[in-house]
Structure 1
Amino acid sequence: MASGARNTARTGLARLGFSAPTDAEPFLIEFEEEIGIGRERILDVASVAADPDDALASLARIARRDAAAVKRLSDDSAGWRSLWALLGASSGFAEFYFRHPEELADLRGGVSRLPTRDELRDGLLDSVDASDGFASDGGEEAWVRLRVRYRRYLARIAVHDLLSASPVDEVAVVAACLADAAGAALEASLAVARTRVSGGASGVGLFPREQVARTRLAIIGMGKTGARELNYVSDVDVIFVAGADDELLDELGESRVVDIATRLAVQTMRGISGVEIEPPLWEVDANLRPEGKQGALVRSLDSHLSYYDRWAKSWEFQALLKARPIAGDTALGDEYVRAVQPLVWASAARENFVDSVQRMRERVTEHIPADEVPYQLKLGPGGIRDIEFTVQLLQLVHGLADDQIHQRGTLPALDALVAEGYIGRTDAAAFANDYRVLRLMEHRGQLRRLSRTHLMPSDPDELRVLARSTKLAPSGSEIRARWEAIKREVRDIHVRLFYRPLLAAVASLSPDDHALTTDQARDRLAAIGFSDPAGALRHIAALTSGLSRKASIQRHLMPVLILWFAEGVDPDYGLLAFRRLSERLGDMPWFLRMLRDSSGAAERLTRVLSGSRYVGDLMEWIPESAAWLDDPSLMRPRSGVALQEEARAIQTRHATIADAMRAVRALRRRELLRTAMWAIVGDATIEDVSGALTTITEVTIQATLRAVRREVVPPEDDALDFSVIAMGRFGGEELGFGSDADVMYVYRPNGLDPERANRLALKLVHGLREHSEDARVPLDLDAELRPEGRSGPLARSLEAYGEYYRRWSVSWEAQALLRARGVAGSVKLIRAFMELADEVRFPASVDPQGIREIKRIKARVENERLPQGTDPTRHLKLGRGSLSDVEWLVQLWQLQHGHRVPGLRTTSTLGALKAARDAGLVSPADAQRLGEAWRLASRLRSANTLLSGQTSDVLPSDRERLDGIGRLLMYPPHSATQVEEDYLGTTRRARRTFDKLFYG
């Protein structure tokens, strides 16, 4: 083949999904030249294979075994397509068809529907030639025939599943069909067992045929089998119940009847799971029986009920919730289920029921090998078991009084719980969809090699195959991302429902107030969502070890503290921060007394530590701040006068600027922490918080300027006036956590040489910037709003400002002055500068060209200043309907009408908006929409910083961060979607108002 032709062929193969087109070429040649199937015929359905490379290689291997069988099927379009789908998703089926190429014929015509329960039962009984409950042959050959026939039906189920347009929507019916197939296989194996036990062909002949025939054995399906939610290859959990008619019981006695039934049960299990020529189907697991592995394999109905009445543990009743007769004596099975159902639904009244069920879930999690936890679809945090346990617990707690929720299956139970009001529709819909997706991923993992697995693939190629076979995502990385998102969502809902106090209250339980042992703590941590249980355990051990009074108090408090941390945004960080704080405070009596005697303070402490890295980092350096949580008045920000007095006192105590500024930085950090704690657990509004942060920043700049001036300006030059003008959100007293402080610098020589005055002013500027720096809580004095922006001088004289504004000022500079406000330095100079600013920002007549220019700049800002790749609907500052939209619109009104409307002459955005409303410039409804958007964007911006300790202007898309932000804004737990919807809806409405009023 020419080079160009080869390249074209490889490209075509790649389009069909082949990952190694070069490796496929020899197989295609083999089919064409040795088997007689054309390349076009081979490849025309290759795209249905999740792994075409594997499918082609497997097909070639089967063809070498029986080329005629493969060639015959290739002539049948539907069958050929079915085979490619199977081999592309399952190397296990490739092995099956290699062992039994004659079974390919069953795929002819494709699969139009799933087999019914009766078809499965009749077909599998036919495979062992069963009649009157006995197989014609009790030898191993009967089991081989049974297993081959079972896999024939399994192939039909898999084809239907793989070729469906939306496999996730087929999960429930596929799982039900698999459960029916398992029941039918057990029925057929039991028929073989009866023949073997009674001495039929190749049988062992332990008991007379008549006695075996009259012995009743019911096989009860448990777990997923009972719920008709079975996987492709999963343990089939069963319980065996023995019985007989009265005459046989009188003749043989119960023990001999149970003995016969036990022999039948053993042989039935062996027919499914024993090692034979044809591999086992799955493991028959009878460990859910009374006393588990230590108990009798088979019991009579009375023996079962006696055990449940006297010794059964709560988890055993939970296991019985899904019990269903699946094979054997149906009447006896129904009698068993009717007898145990009242016990199941009364179990929630047992002492400590909810706690015991929760612990069962936690123990399951504990037994996951550490290296499997990140890949566990079933047992890991956010996996299938979280959904099942949550649903079952809710059923058991409420099922005593409400029989409408007596459902075996998870999805039907969810529907019933919603209908009866025990789960919200949103949570239930999320749970149901996530359950289907997780089960589909689990199904495809097991189908791959027809082996039991519950792990997400880690290999990129296997992830790609999983994505193709599930049709859930276009690539392996995207299906992995979807899985991670589902885990977070499931875990959120599970923790909220699984541990909510209502469950214990409904079950009439007392609170769990015992001290945690290490094992219990590990169980609880894994169950309630700590992402690093091992690290959390180390922190707990450090906090509770020893004989000190502090360790004793913390051992007593740890159970409730852990639960409070778990209810927070970041339990791991909260616990770590608590440990650091505890170590810094040592055995301080007030701290221990607060933890022990003031539950409100202790709960608030866990809330701020788990909810805010900003607070946690500062508290480590200011540990005495924990005392504020016990007295709400101590959390309220101090007045500007009080802070000024403290700052002035600092300067009298410290001779050097380095010492003075170290103390000023400590003051600022302390007051920022106080304000942050107040914002999280107090009753602060965004205006309150902004005002407090602005005051702290003003006092810091004033104190810094005094210290710098004392060092920079000699006594002979003291006539120099110098002032700092606040701009932007600083000028508007609208600072948030992490906001820059926009400023301008102005000076007046007052007789000094102009050149010298300028040099001194620049030294003051540089000193301010140098000594205000704080690596722990940065304070950025940003002078970019000065005339000419970055190109202009850092400081100008008052005369230079006046000359510039008269001759060269452009519209945006007048706009910037709208929020100019003097905050530090010479009061007289500030007054003079503000008079100059008023002339520029509130002109008697407005230049229409200037207004047009402002509108043009606003449009350019939206297009050019928004960071590349940022969703414009999520940017809190520059996005649509966010801060800048509201501020630019209000500032436009101020420029146009500020001269005649005194209320507009304010640096406050909300104050000016209110004045505009009062003056009739904007309707009350539009003003309300704009104000709501501005407040919400400001709150989200500050909350984002509080949560992460880092400044960001983008509303995160990560659900955990969104939820954390929501919690800081007093949303209920797990409100990420609501936060997002509230912001997008609010800003969408504000944007419509902005477009109408700004551009219209």
Structure 2
Amino acid sequence: MNPAQRALPSILAEQAERARARMRERCSPDDWQRWQSEWARYPHPEHLDLMLACSPFVAELLCRDLRPMLELLTSGTLLRSLDEQELQQSLKAKLAEPELDLAVVLRRFRAQQMLRIVWRDFTALAATLETTRDTSLLAEACISAALEYNQRVLESRFGVPRGRHSGEAQQLMVLAMGKLGARELNISSDIDLIFVYPEAGTTDGSERSLSNDEFFTKLGQSVITALDQVTAEGFVFRVDMRLRPYGESGALVHNFSAMEDYYQEQGRDWERYALIKARALNGSAARIEELTTLLRPFIYRKYVDFGVIESLRSMKQMINSEVRRRALQDDIKLGHGGIREVEFIAQCFQLIRGGRDLGLQQRELLPVLDECAALGCLPGDVVAELKAAYLFLRDSEHALQGYRDQQTQHLPQDSLARAALAQVMDCRDWEEYQEKLRGHRERVAEHFRDLIAAPEDDVAAEAQDLDLWGEDLDAKSLAQLGYREPELSVKSLLELRDSRRVIELQVQGRERLAEFMPQLLLACAENEDPDTALARVLPLVTAVLRRSAYLALLLENPAALDELVTLCAASPWIAAQMAARPVLLDELLDRASLYNAPDKTRLQNELQRQVARLAVDDLEAQMEALRYFKASHTLRVAASELVGRLSLMKVSDKLSWLAEVILEQVLALAWHDLVAKYGEPARQRSGYGFAIFAYGKLGGIELSYSSDLDLVFVYDAEAQGHTDGKRSIDNSLFYTRLGQRIIHILQTQMSMGQLYEVDMRLRPSGESGMLVASTTGFDSYQRESAWTWEHQALVRARLVAGDPQVGEVFYAVRQRILCQQRDQAELAVEVLRMRDRMRAHLLPSVNLDSDHFYLKQDRGGIVDIEFMVQYAVLAWSHRVPQLAQWSDNVRILETLGQSGLFAAAESEALIQAYLAYRSAAHQLALQQQEDAVPAAAYSEHRAAVIAKWEQLFAPYLASAEALGFEDTQDK
């Protein structure tokens, strides 16, 4: 129910009646007649009694002078919000009047607009966020007017301030902080400002010159006086300048250079919180961007920064002490479960993750909470509760402040004010309001406690009982914990502790390391092999010493530390990945996600969400985001495989899907970049006219953790066509540069390494051929020039990104080439020659003793199975075209068995051997070991493969040996 439609209780009805009488008594007959005429047309007559009863501030304004209200009624602005331009134009019109007094005009304008804002808020004509926005726009209009007026006055005396080096005119920029910065100002709020200007210099006055610092200090003081000074007309806005560098003891204004030096060298955590909402109210777009770029690195760390939680605890403890000292328990802002706790929750996630998740770099609180839900930082139901509580608390704040235009968040004690608050909040009585308020505050407090609660103390207590990092660290302490080689582990710990990197740490870094190391040692002690676990985690610790926020992440999340130790102990490959990319520690926070690698559709959706937050023109940021995306999802796949949640086939599927999704995005990025420079190439159909085809492991959907990508680029566009941009180039050059840009994006080394190593040697004519082939060129090459081994490679070719229509042309060529009839004897000899050449080139010579079986290149290994499959496709696809349908070995082997070309038992034996070999290779890769196993380990599988090889190629072995290999030239 609208609060104005709820009957007023007697205490408020009497208050309204008394206010009506005062209005009539103090109003001139002409104004009263106009009032009755205008009010008769107002569509909500019940609003007047509500406002007179629930806002003595509004009642006093109406009693003092009805003309501002009459202006609102006649203009219709009482019934609607004003946009930014309309509000500023309205104020400018009043300032254009002759012989104006700036202070008087600003104060009267503020009074009229606050009358409108409070009226619309209390009567529910305006929602919460409209009230905060309108109040913020009012403040901005007043600041702008005061700034422009006083700058004109000062420039008439001292000239225009100019930059010492640039000579350009300088402008005082007003940085709005806090709620004004986010346009979330409350009804009777002060405004937090910082004054800044771009460049030092002097004014160009002919008679008297000032330094820019002096000029802008005078200007800042004049603006403050115009807004803050209390006169007979009241004030405009209370101005708080304490958030500026060095606080109250610092200069009133700073130039950009001084600002940057301060935040780089002396900025504190609470200032990072304060600057989250900072927004320049004036200045050119270039200057605003320069200032934003200057501040952003201080506010948002590139890495996940859990160190802010400890500072948040400290800030909250200080607030709690102040609440107790000043008896502010009934303060809905600072008290238990109040507005500040909701703000802290949002800002905490902004500072923890905002450097990487750019969607969190917003000023408004509610969108930030929505982003927290989208990122999985907070559950959706928690965000819904926080938003509902925030809106209820802000509405309560407006009702409190709009009562007498006082800056208060304290619940009232007298019965009249309580009745007014309950009425505006649409509650039957004070008790109902208190019940609703209590529920919201309890929920906020619970979620806030969950966020900043200190980790369990059990582990910390255990660490204190043993000297696990201090001067008395020795092997005995580790032995007590179950370390098997304590002397070796202590040696590693002492090397770290006494290293230059640790000695040179700042105090906070050393303290955090001293707190972390005992927790790490205890976590490793829970592992089956504590010494190995410790040895594998220590490189990560060394890597993050200067970025101790990563240690804070693990201290704040003991479960994440346990996951880190478990994964590193299980796989040195994972340990190396974590040490090289500590940002991946963030993935350990959500165990459900860590051990749940998504399917292709979810991968596409997640990547789109991540890159959508980045400027499409910011190629470096896009490339960094892609690298994190790949590394984080590869970690999820490896973790899932280690704990047995993913079979070999699923692992390869997940890694292949990941590569495909990344290639799709890389192509989109490269396309956008090239089209922006040259325009789009001429082509008869929509789409890229370009496609990426994978060969090898990705083509066969068999990608592993460190596989490179064998790619071929093909385009289909008008041969003589050109791009349609101002810098037009021909189609073939455009697509060549597109391919080059794709390779650049994939292979460039950045802070998180490269995306993939790319091998383009399987393209037509190999390294001597064009980087990008046309569809006609690809067709003619495959028909006329390709070698047998290139047709073998074509078996595993597959479209992975780009234009499906180009894919259709490619697949038609592939099907035709693979299904052409061949001389089986000649084909067999070519396959055997290629296999022997590969084995001689790639098989380690140590294998001559036969103690080991090399899974990939040895006789009866992976490549033998692949060659048999490729031979079968090339030899028999003209009879069984279904063989050419697939690019992966397992489904081709299944088709061979189903068609009778291989015995069913033989096909199944080869499939099982192939899967077993690849599974073992995956596990060895995770252990960073070469793909060799004891010779007897896979003897049955190996025997089955060798038997089929000999049965398949026995008739041709003699011919191959007779031909020899000395005359065969590598292509």
Confirm or deny a common fold (TM above 0.5).
no
TM-score of the superposed pair, with normalisation by structure 1: 0.42
Could you state the TM-score of these two structures normalised by the residue count of structure 2? 0.43
